[in-house]
Structure 1
Amino acid sequence: MGGGSAGGAQGRDRAPRRAGLRALAVDDEAPALEELLYLLRDDARVSHAEGAQGATEALRRLGRAVGEGHAADDGIDVVFLDISMPGLSGLDMAHLLAGFAAPPLIVFVTAHEDHAVRAFDLKAVDYLLKPIRRERFTESVRRVTEALAAASGPYAARMRPDVPDAAPAQSGVLGARSSAVGGSRLPVELGGVTRFVDVDDITHVEAHGDYARVHTRQGTGHLIRHSLAALEESWRPRGFVRIHRRYLVRLASIEELRLDGGSLSVRIGDRILAVSRRNARDLRDLLVQRANGGPRNGR
């Protein structure tokens, strides 16, 4: 498929309503592209949406628009980008866009969760799973409009007065507000479905930039839009302790403390996690306190 003209997939844009998001949808599969364009054109916050059936065609379009800057009349604010495409993948295209002087925002769209961490490393605003649910799509557009409004320059000036308020944030999706981590259950999104994980089932959390991957007793890893620092602050009373800049662990989940050549590590299930020198003393003190019958939060 990839690389051909979107043709009928692009169709005609609706008559401009007012200044708003200008979006480019990229997918090598025509039905998926049609669906994405339908959702974009049906959203009041989107004033212009067009499609490209492959990365090569999309780059030609963006090379003209992005090269002129965000203030250009035919500029693109955001690219809704499929990841698995023949030839240049969505991740490849994102790398190329990063080299533009004023690249558009990126929302990855895919049927698989496997690329989530790499996608967010590329500073994607969001990661939509197929089949796309309308409420999840609405939330994604909200994130885009907020990111643009918070930016500096002509993009922000154009967006702030003209884009209507987006729908309230959906709890349980990537990007949920920090208050979501304060309860006993953590909302996460898996396969387009919002599920709730008991915090007491969480064994450790691994940092991924501004995101975190939550591991449970069942071995499941959920990617959430929270920093490790925010989780540490909220979950300290539940028995979680920072052992490394990358790891936050439940004290009760530590099965072994290992010392090898001066380096300290802990074992949780089949995972061996490094303990930084900065955190080593606090961890030892807490483990000794626990062994002597001290506070036993996070059972």
Structure 2
Amino acid sequence: MSSLKIAIIDDEPLARMRIKSLLAQASVANEVVGEFGEPVNGLSWLQQQDKAGASPDMLLLDIQMPGLDGMVLAARLRELQQPPVVAFVTAHAEHALRAFDLAAADYLTKPVRLERLNATLDRVLKLKAARAPEPADEVADGADVFIVQDRGRLERIALSQILYFKAEQKYVTLRTAEHSHVLADSLTELEGRVGERFIRVHRNALVSRQAMKALERRADDADGGETWAVQVTPTMEWLSVSRRQVTAVREAMAAQG
């Protein structure tokens, strides 16, 4: 039976004790591998575990703590190669929206109930399974997936369904033929994950090689330079192509036949 390795960061000793007691009764097998009352120490430990390739599966994280706010700590976790799935545990419900902006798996309010914790653990266990590497032949066929939140539920999206990723302010939009989803990942992180199946057409966009339909020169810009755009099928949207990427995009389209 699969189990979860869990870390806890909460400045209140009684709160940590309560969570550990509930975890001992949980329906999902788990092991507490790290417990910290000082958030700075907890972050340092997580960074060390990440470097060692031993990150926990999940982090139960308080928000209002002295020294380092839980929201700030969660944002810092994006710098890790294998960050744990975060579930906030707090007495302050007003932070829920911001928590989900940070791609938290859940938001538990104190006092935490066992059935609510069980639901969270089950969700994280499914996320862990989805993150597991696909067999080599399946990855070659584009079968790896992204997990996105859509109206309160988690949805699996195969890489082969994705038309493009586009950075917009603090977030990245994942676009399929039917829907758009917001991701907390950076475009650079996504570029490393999707590999050669996508091409960087602009500093703010990665496009599926298979989705590119047309490359078109547009009117010259204010500086007298060329501007280009690539059309994506089946949505027929146009995305800007930087001048230095025009040749690479043209070659990629030619290679697709």
- The TM-score with structure 2 as length reference comes to 0.50
The alignment status of 1:32 with 2:15, answered yes or no, reads yes
Give secondary structure in 2 for the equivalent of 1:115: helix
Give secondary structure in 1 for the equivalent of 2:93: coil
- The aligned amino acid for 1:153 is P
- Find the counterpart in structure 1 of residue 71 from structure 2: 91
- The aligned amino acid for 1:36 is I
Query: Are the aligned partners of 1:23 and 1:46 in contact in 2 as well (CA < 8 Å)?
Result: no
The alignment status of 1:51 with 2:35, answered yes or no, reads yes
Matches within 5 A, 1:95-110: 95-110=75-90
Larger radius of gyration: 1
Structure 1 unaligned blocks of 5 or more? 1-17, 155-173, 179-208, 211-226, 230-299
2:98 to 113, 118, 128: 118
Deviations 1:88-127 (A, max 9, x none): 0110110111111111110011111211111101110000
CA distance in 1, matches of 2:3, 2:36: 20
1:142 to 101, 112, 122: 122
Query: Which structure has greater strand proportion?
Result: 2
CA distance in 2, matches of 1:149, 1:139: 16
Deviations 1:176-221 (A, max 9, x none): 699xxxxxxxxxxxxxxxxxxxxxxxxxxxxxx99xxxxxxxxxxx
Deviations 1:247-270 (A, max 9, x none): xxxxxxxxxxxxxxxxxxxxxxxx
What is the deviation of 1:42? 2.6
- The aligned amino acid for 1:106 is V
CA distance in 1, matches of 2:87, 2:117: 10
What is the deviation of 1:44? 4.6
1:66 to 46, 50, 53: 50
- The aligned amino acid for 2:60 is F
Query: Are the aligned partners of 1:37 and 1:51 in contact in 2 as well (CA < 8 Å)?
Result: no
CA distance in 2, matches of 1:42, 1:55: 26
Aligned Cα root-mean-square deviation (Å): 2.9
The alignment status of 1:76 with 2:59, answered yes or no, reads no
Give secondary structure in 2 for the equivalent of 1:114: helix
In structure 2, relative to structure 1, the CA distance for the partners of 1:228 and 1:97 (3 Å cut) is: closer
CA distance in 2, matches of 1:43, 1:143: 13
CA distance in 1, matches of 2:154, 2:36: 33
- The TM-score with structure 1 as length reference comes to 0.44
Structure 2 unaligned blocks of 5 or more? 135-150, 156-171, 174-178, 182-257
CA distance in 2, matches of 1:19, 1:136: 20
CA distance in 2, matches of 1:145, 1:127: 16
What is the deviation of 1:41? 2.7
In structure 2, relative to structure 1, the CA distance for the partners of 1:124 and 1:66 (3 Å cut) is: same
Give secondary structure in 2 for the equivalent of 1:108: strand
- Find the counterpart in structure 1 of residue 112 from structure 2: 132
What is the deviation of 1:152? 3.4
- Find the counterpart in structure 2 of residue 213 from structure 1: none
Give secondary structure in 2 for the equivalent of 1:32: helix
In structure 2, relative to structure 1, the CA distance for the partners of 1:177 and 1:152 (3 Å cut) is: closer
- Find the counterpart in structure 2 of residue 20 from structure 1: 3
CA distance in 1, matches of 2:16, 2:37: 7
